[in-house]
Structures are given as C-alpha cells and as structure tokens.
Amino acid sequence: MELAYYSDYAVRLINTEEPVRGKDSLTSVEAVRDLFGTNQEAARRATDADVTRFRSVRGRLRAVFESADGGDETLAVNLLNSLLLEFPVSPQISGHNFRNDDGRPLWHMHLADHPSNATAGYAAIAAMGLAFHLTEYGVDRLGLCEAAPCRNAYLDTSTNRSRRYCSDRCATRANVAAYRARKRLEADRSERTGLAAESAQRTSATGDR
C-alpha cells in the first residue's frame, strides 16, 4: 500500500466537522471507530476518551489545511511537523493480504504505529500520510472547498492543479450559484439600461417642445 494513501485518514477526520454550518458528527466512540474503516483491530482500541482526543487532532489537522489554503506554506509544514514529532510511526515492509500471480507476497511499505491509545495510532498514520502527499505533490495540493459554506478538506491530485471543490456535488452547487448570480447581474444591467433609455427619451421629448 502506498504511503500517500494514508493521507485520506486526515481528510476523513477533518470532514467530520462543518464549522460554518455548526455540524459535528464526531460525537461517539462508534463515530471514532468508523473512521478506521477496514482496520477493525485498531478501531477496537477506541474508547469514549478518544472522542475528545480525536477532536483535538482534528483541529490541528484542519489548521494545516487552512494554512496551506491561505498560502502560508511554512506554517502548514511547521504544524504538520509538530504532529509528526508528537505521533511517530515506524515504516515497515509488509506483504500481508496481497499476492501476485505466482502466489508470492506483493511487498509494499506499511506504517506500523505503536500507540498508547486509538487517537495516537490514527493521528500518527494521518500525519505521516499527509506528509507524504505534501512532499510528493506540494503544499498547494491541500485544499478547502470553495463552495461556501462547505469548507471540507480535499487533496488535489488533478494534473493541472485545478481542483477547487471537495466533491462533484459542491462543484455543481457552486456552478449553479455562479450562473444565477450572472443572470441577476445581467437583469440588473438590463433594467438600468432601460431606465436610462427612458430618461433620455423623456429629456429629448421635453427639449423638443
């Protein structure tokens, strides 16, 4: 498994909260366990105490994206480095569950964490995955959705660095809003033009008398 894959752990955690809308789905130990996906062994370590700890890590990960989105590359890297120092991992070669046509292991890099709790394990993997993504693609590939009020985090892997939204749904919503705004502007301009023409006609008629 490519190490950059683990960057999705960070996005998954950040997007459990929608600050502008005042929504937060990270409210129970079950919600924490769901974040681990298929890694059920790690999920079983979660306890009620991890809810608060996960929220703290979530805020720090969002700060990385906010700094990157705001153009402060150095701050984004410094914030991520602080997470890497606090939550270390050990890269290991693994061949579990993956075999080639000859039945031999498909060796790949795996992040082995040694956590004191579920939060430490998740944070370690999320931070390391995000670090690999950042160094591979660049800080400007860490984005926050521009379809207000969404602001969900996303990782831009487009070839021309053009991604601006977290999902197709938000992209469609933003395009529709932009279209309606253009139509309103056109209508306002048309109305102003019509009023100006009427005023000019009245002035001309008055002058002809």
pLDDT in tens, 142-189: 999 999 899 999 999 888 888 999 999 999 988 876 667 676 776 667
Tokens at 35, concatenated: 């974040």
Whether 1 has a pLDDT exceeding 50, the answer reads: no
Q: Which amino acid does the sequence have at 72? A: D
How many CB atoms are located within 10 Å of the residue 43 CB?
Answer: 19
Beta strands in the chain, from DSSP E residues, in sequence order: 17-18, 23-24, 90-94, 108-112, 142-144, 153-155
For residues 53-79, average pLDDT? 97
CA–CA distances in Å: residue 9 to residues 165, 176, 179 = 18, 31, 35
Amino acid at 90: S
25 to 46, 168, 193, 199: CA distances (angstroms): 16, 21, 50, 57
Specify the 3-state DSSP secondary structure of 36: coil
Structure confidence at residue 109 (pLDDT):
74
Model confidence at 90: pLDDT above 90: no
- Please give the model's pTM, rounded to 2 decimal places: 0.78
Is it the case that residue 19 has pLDDT exceeding 80? yes
pLDDT in tens, 117-148: 999 999 999 999 999 999 989 999 999 999 98
Q: In angstroms, how far is the first alpha carbon of the chain from the final one?
A: 87
108-112 contacts: CB < 8 A, separation 24 or more? Answer: 108/1, 108/2, 109/1, 109/2, 109/3, 110/1, 111/3, 111/6
Amino acid 40: pLDDT: 85
Write b or e for each residue in 119-134: b if 16 or more Cβ atoms lie within 10 A of its Cβ, otherwise e.
Answer: bbbbbbbbbbbbbbbb
